[in-house]
Amino acid sequence: MLNTGSTGFMLLATSLVMLMTPGLAFFYGGLASKRNILGIMMQSFVSLGLTSILWFFIGYSLCFSGGEGAIIGNLDKMFLHGITPNTLFGNGDIPELVFVAYQMMFAIITPALITGAFANRITFKAYIIFLVLWQLFVYYPFVHMVWGGGLLAQMGVLDFAGGIVVHATAGFAALASVFFVGSRMYKDSKPNNIPLMAIGTALLWFGWYGFNAGSELNVDGITALAFMNTDTAASFAAITWMVIDWFKERKPKFVGLMTGAVAGLATVTPAAGFVSLPVAALMGILGAVVCYFAVHIKNRMEWDDALDVWGVHGIGGVTGTILLGVFASTAINPVGVDGLLYGGTGFFIKELVVVAGASIYAFVFTYIMLIVINAITPVKVSNEEQLIGLDISLHGESAYDSIHH
């Protein structure tokens, strides 16, 4: 029986998640250097178009059709075959088309997250190939295995809204990309527009309510819990990061505050509907601390992950998944599992092994894939193109009319 309340809410949640991709573009665009704003924003926006086409064509089918207990689904729902406006999804609360759209928004933002790592360094042609291949061989299998009734779902692995599926895979793919493309010519380029980054952060935080609360696919108490947990973790993480900055650098930094919020959001994502509010607060604090030090290590090692995709999204997703293994509680969500704290040692080990495995796979596959793409078309831009900036050299446009060439 179609539930109009749940359907209305899921359409809203879908719209919120869609807004995260332009939000990400603003976030990255503000952090990029003046000559590379359009290049990095376009990488997010092009995913809106290209991923939607891919999703309609084969993505949805590979993720959510057949393949019980398998690594990938089948092609029965190619071109959304057999899905009519009257086809209901799951327990029949919402039209399947709403679910198709909701999951599509996740598919759009996940590869776009990676782009912050190789800012200013890769060719647009290589990125387009990357966008398609990465979804086919990394994103789709993990969506199917965790959310599509595949192998990991049958093993009892939980991931409420994408700690493993989205953040761990994208974060470690980002790290692999950084190792492959090497450093920028100008590593210490300052953010060109912090207010633009602030708009991006606001849109990401706002959209994340749809990301996490919408993952309940229904409107009930768990939806409300996931919503509150999302905000709580983000708030605690933002303030924690700011305090660490204040303590270490003697000044509270705005960029740090915003980075902390995103770290908290990434950390709570896998656990949003499975843990209590105090745990979400703790996850925000721990997420900020762990991500802060991950970024610190990255700087010490001189890995040029330009916009800290690995340190914030990758490590946030991994941390959140491990903490889910510790703190999940059936007293909070009866359809969940009890974590380590409540005697669920097996569940804890499963989450640990799977998030490690997903991270390693995403890293290794991405690195190999970049070698393959490089054989087809150069992945790295030339030094000359870096010097001019990708906006002009690749796209023939510039963000501001005042930059002289």
Residues 95-152 have pLDDT tens digits of 999 999 999 999 999 999 999 888 888 899 999 999 999 999 999 999 999 999 999 9
For residues 288 and 259, what is the distance between their CA atoms, to the nearest angstrom? 9
**Domain residue limits, the chain:** 4-395
Cα–Cα dist 266/284, whole Å: 9
Dihedral angle of Cα 347, 351, 353, 359, to the nearest 10 degrees: 170
The secondary structure of residue 190, as a DSSP letter, is P
Give me the phi and psi of 310, to 5 degrees please. Answer: -65, -50
If one counts every other C-beta atom within 10 angstroms of the C-beta of residue 251, the result is 10
Tokens 């061989």 belong to 137
pLDDT level of residue 188 (50, 70, 90 thresholds): low
At residue 399, the pLDDT reads 85
* Mean pLDDT confidence for 235-244: 97
Mean pLDDT in the chain?
93
CA-based torsion, 248, 252, 253, 257: positive or negative: positive
What does 227-267 look like in DSSP terms, one character per residue? HHHHHHHHHHHHHHHHHHHHHHHSS--HHHHHHHHHHHHHH
Report which listed range, 176-180, 182-186, 279-283, is most confident.
Answer: 279-283
- List Cβ neighbours of 69 (8 Å cut-off, separation of 6 or more): 149, 150, 151, 154
Q: How far apart are CA 260 and CA 133, in angstroms?
A: 31
- The pTM is what? 0.94
Number of H helices, E strands in the chain: 17, 2
Residue-by-residue DSSP string for 10-37: HHHHHHHHHHHHHHHHHHHHHHS-GGGH
Helix axes 345-376, 169-181, angle to 10 degrees: 40
Give long-range contacts, CB 8 A cutoff, 24+ apart: 52-56.
52/104, 52/108, 54/107, 54/132, 54/135, 55/100, 55/103, 55/104, 55/107, 56/80
- Residue 404 in this model has a pLDDT that exceeds 80: no
Q: What is the pLDDT of residue 403?
A: 56
Q: Can you tell me the distance from the alpha carbon of 219 to that of 216, in angstroms, rounded to the nearest whole number?
A: 7
- Read off the DSSP letter of residue 160: S
- The per-residue pLDDT for 307 is 85
Q: What does residue 95 show for φ and ψ, rounded to 5 degrees?
A: -65, 145
Under DSSP, the state recorded for 269 is G
Q: Which residues lie below 8 Å from residue 188, measured CB to CB, with a gap of 6+?
A: none
In this structure, what DSSP letter does residue 169 have? H
Using DSSP's 3-state secondary structure scheme, residue 102 falls into: helix
Q: Report how far Cα 375 is from the mean position of its chain's Cα atoms.
A: 28
Architecture of domain 4-395: Orthogonal Bundle (1.10)
CB 112 within 8 A of CB 26: no
Kindly state the average pLDDT of the residues 262-275.
Answer: 97
Name the residue with tokens 């204040």: 246
CB 339 within 8 A of CB 326: yes
Per DSSP bridges, beta strands 94-95 and 88-89 are antiparallel
Spatial separation of the C-alpha atoms in residues 280 and 212, rounded to whole Å:
13
How does DSSP assign 330-393, residue by residue? TTT-TTS---GGGT-HHHHHHHHHHHHHHHHHHHHHHHHHHHHHHHHS--BPPHHHHHH-HHHH
Q: Specify the pLDDT at position 29.
A: 92
Residue 336 contacts residue 330 (beta carbons within 8 Å): yes
**DSSP conformation class of 398:** -
pLDDT of residue 304: 87
CA angle 122, 125, 131 (to 5 degrees): 85
pLDDT value for 187 = 67
Gyration radius of the chain's alpha carbons: 20
* Phi, psi (rounded to 5 degrees) for 303: -80, 125
* Residue pLDDT, tens place only, 367-402: 999 999 999 998 988 888 888 888 888 888 888 876
Which of helix, strand or coil describes residue 124?
helix
Distance of CA 179 to the CA centre of its chain: 20
